[in-house]
Amino acid sequence: MAKMMWRCSVCGDIHYGNKPPEICPTCGAADAFVLTDFDEAMKIIGRRTGPLDSKEKVVASWKDFAERNGAILLTESDEEIDMLCSGVLENLRNKGFRYCPCRIPSGNQLKDQALICPCNFMKQKNWGELGECWCGLFRKKEGRS
């Protein structure tokens, strides 16, 4: 069954999956999810977070992500961060989303969500074998599997 987007009718939480959660993980409402679509979900999420459309905001989001996750580190190379952030922001301007600068979106928005940085790199082969994401922006903390 194809995955779909769901919106909690109580708090607006967005869920992407084969079926909606019985209990909303954000507000705790029961059986409150209704089918939504990509554009509606993006409008809701965008209104809540504001655009990540500058180098300062994107790098801050990467740092926050790495700090909250005990298993990963952001590269210490400012040059790499600058280069990857420029690529991500160029993709935002030209393709509408902060896609990974190292990979080419297919044009299918739902499928391409997996390429929005940070992507699902922890599930990729590179992470298991080399201990870093495809572009080397994030790497595994020593001693963490």
The stretch near ligand SF4 (CB under 6 A) out of 11-19, 27-35, 105-113, 131-139 is 131-139
Q: Please report, as residue ranges, which positions from 57 to 86 form the binding site for ligand SF4 (by CB under 6 A).
A: 84
The CB-of-100 to ligand SF4 minimum distance in angstroms stands at: 3
Q: Which of 23, 102, 110, 122 binds ligand SF4 (CB under 6 A)?
A: 102
Residue 31 burial (C-beta neighbours within 10 Å; 0-12, 13-18, 19+): exposed
Beta bridge partners of 140: 72
Nearer to ligand SF4, 5 or 135 (CB): 135
- CA count, 13 A, side-chain hemisphere, 44: 16
SS3 5: strand
SS3 34: strand
Residue number, nearest CB to ligand SF4:
100
Nearer to ligand SF4, 13 or 112 (CB): 112
